[in-house]
Amino acid sequence: MAGERMRDDMNILQPGTQLDGRYEVVRLLGQGGMAAVYEVRHLGLHSTHALKVLNENLSLNDDIRGRFLAEGRIQARLRHPHIVQVTEIVTTPVAGLVMDYIEGPTLGEFCRGQGLEPRVLLEVFLPVLDAMEEAHKRGVVHRDLKPDNVIIGKDSRGRLQPMVTDFGIAKVEEGPGGKARTQAGARMGTLLYMSPEQIRGAGEVDARTDIFSLGAILYEAATGKVAFHASSDFDTMKSIVEGTYEPPERVVGGMHPVVAGCIRKALAVDPAERFQDCAAFREALENAFEAGAQAPQKPSRSYAVTQVENPPAKTPSTPPAGVKPGTDPDAYAPTYVADTGRFPRADRVPDTGRFPTATPPPPTPPPTPPTPQAIAPVAPAPVQSAPVNTVRVSQRQVVQASSPAEMTRSEVSPGVAVLLNLFCLSGGGQIYNGQTAKGVLGLIGSLFVITSIFSSGPLGACFWLMWYGAFIVDAYRVASKRQRGLRVGPWEY
């Protein structure tokens, strides 16, 4: 009850409320901790728009309100077919941003915990890279890219049309070097998709921060799993800073090595080892299925290594002298960082600061540093490659499959699956959907049930009708899932 009451308190606009005498509230679309989004109708044009307003308990905060209006100004200057356009600001009875109304699920809802097939994956992700390339060209760093900030709409021809939205904490790059300034130590963004430099609270971030977040989104869209998910925020931050995550090709058997390589490169801890812009990211991913395509070079290490004179090896789990375990998230060195008390910072040259940080000695020509001992990877358990199905997204062929394990060229129609079960014995639609074992079981069961009708009479006929109907419904549901681009198991209902 308390949660519902709080939600009602934050919902400050009721259906029928007019704004600036030009828009009328139709309904509440969604509400978060900071803002609510409404469907509104233009009274003169009768056109449908979305309206974003701050929750009442935050609208009186000058800093939050200033960032909210800055979001509108930033998003209004970005004109791209895959960026939600802010068209106007209203002020009465509340301040709000009027923007394009996009009907469709978020990317997180579209995936539903299952990895997308290669064809659908590129159909969804490449336009997002195009949108962010345009934003970066205009000096805008999003800093909060995540699946929930990508809406999957459809164009006039029914083709998927991903739209990037919510530039609420975006920054415009200013000054020499084109870097977005933020107060050092401030962490802004959504933890699961933040870059290592955001975790460290670096005072300067650039477009490569968004590249890392895009890599985390691509990982989730391709595998259905979050790349950096842990039992606590501290463990999540540690995984991001160290670059430790389950390889995507181990999560999804048969994943194309170039796609997996693109994910690894985008998730490199060192920004210099990531794709340097979205155009390079797009080129590598778009050409993944072409003959002779090479996977991007694997990052040298999954984490940065600070080198000093005669560095003694140090185990990652050993805290510096005088520090109790678990007291400081930054008090552990990721690996082979000699006598340093903090993770290497992205906004400064690695130094020899001990814990606590001491004044570094005068620079001297460093000797040839010893090569750190590589940690031997654990051999992954063999993973059975699941067949990957295709889905009708558009009439044009987006990619060419180089092997059946990567992508099939068949298209699935729920209507065909139902017809096969209507005019054939039960199981025909299942075989059409790629569930061969289930289809064979249905055929055998149908023959058994039909023969039992002669001995059981009406009871056998009733049981046959139930069996017949169940397989028709199953064929339709599975074909619908495959048409949306979701992977379907051999026995999934």
Mean per-residue pLDDT for 413-433? 77
- Pair 181, 204: CB distance under 8 Å: yes
Mean per-residue pLDDT for 442-461? 74
Burial class (CB in 10 A: 0-12, 13-18, 19+), 417: buried
The token duo for 59 is: 């609208």
> 72: pLDDT confidence band, cut at 50, 70 and 90?
confident
Cα distance between residue 124 and residue 105, in whole Å:
12
Higher per-residue pLDDT: 387 or 289: 289
**Please, what is the Cα angle at 188 between 182 and 194, to 5 degrees?**
115
Whether 27 shows a pLDDT value over 50: the answer reads yes
Q: Which of 20, 63, 144, 328 is catalytic?
A: 144
Active site residue 328: no
Mean per-residue pLDDT for 373-392? 42
Whether 424 shows a pLDDT value over 70: the answer reads no
Buried b / exposed e over 436-446, threshold 16 CB at 10 Å, is eebbebbbebb
- Pair 58, 64: CB distance under 8 Å: yes
Cα distance between residue 278 and residue 127, in whole Å:
11
Mean per-residue pLDDT for 232-261? 92
- Predicted structure pTM score: 0.60
Cα distance between residue 399 and residue 407, in whole Å:
9
> 382: pLDDT confidence band, cut at 50, 70 and 90?
very low
pLDDT attached to residue 394: 35
- The continuous run of DSSP H or E covering 36 comes out as strand 35-42
Higher per-residue pLDDT: 39 or 483: 39
- Pair 29, 37: CB distance under 8 Å: yes
Cα distance between residue 116 and residue 485, in whole Å:
6
> 423: pLDDT confidence band, cut at 50, 70 and 90?
low
27-31, 258-262, 477-481: segment of lowest average pLDDT:
477-481
> 174: pLDDT confidence band, cut at 50, 70 and 90?
low
* pLDDT tens per residue across span 179-194: 544 443 445 778 999 9
pLDDT attached to residue 481: 75
* pLDDT tens per residue across span 462-472: 876 787 788 88
Highest mean pLDDT, choosing among 94-103, 163-172, 415-424: 94-103
Whether 93 shows a pLDDT value over 80: the answer reads yes
**Mean pLDDT of all residues in the chain?**
74
Task: Give CA 204 to chain center in angstroms.
Answer: 23
Highest mean pLDDT, choosing among 179-183, 186-190, 270-274, 475-479: 270-274
> 232: pLDDT confidence band, cut at 50, 70 and 90?
very high
pLDDT attached to residue 365: 54
pLDDT attached to residue 11: 58
pLDDT attached to residue 339: 35
Whether 226 shows a pLDDT value over 90: the answer reads yes
pLDDT attached to residue 4: 42
Buried b / exposed e over 1-26, threshold 16 CB at 10 Å, is eeeeeeeeebebbeeeeebeeebebb
Whether 165 shows a pLDDT value over 80: the answer reads yes
> Any idea of the CA torsion for 323, 324, 326, 332, to the nearest 10 degrees?
30
Measured over the CA atoms of residue 73, residue 77, residue 81 and residue 83, the dihedral's sign is: negative
73-82, 182-191, 246-255, 364-373: segment of lowest average pLDDT:
364-373
Quick one: what percent of the chain has pLDDT higher than 70? 69
* pLDDT tens per residue across span 300-345: 755 433 333 333 333 343 443 443 444 433 333 333 233 333 333 3
Cα distance between residue 379 and residue 401, in whole Å:
28
pLDDT attached to residue 86: 92
Classify 216 as helix, strand or coil: helix
pLDDT attached to residue 314: 37
Classify 31 as helix, strand or coil: strand
> 49: pLDDT confidence band, cut at 50, 70 and 90?
very high
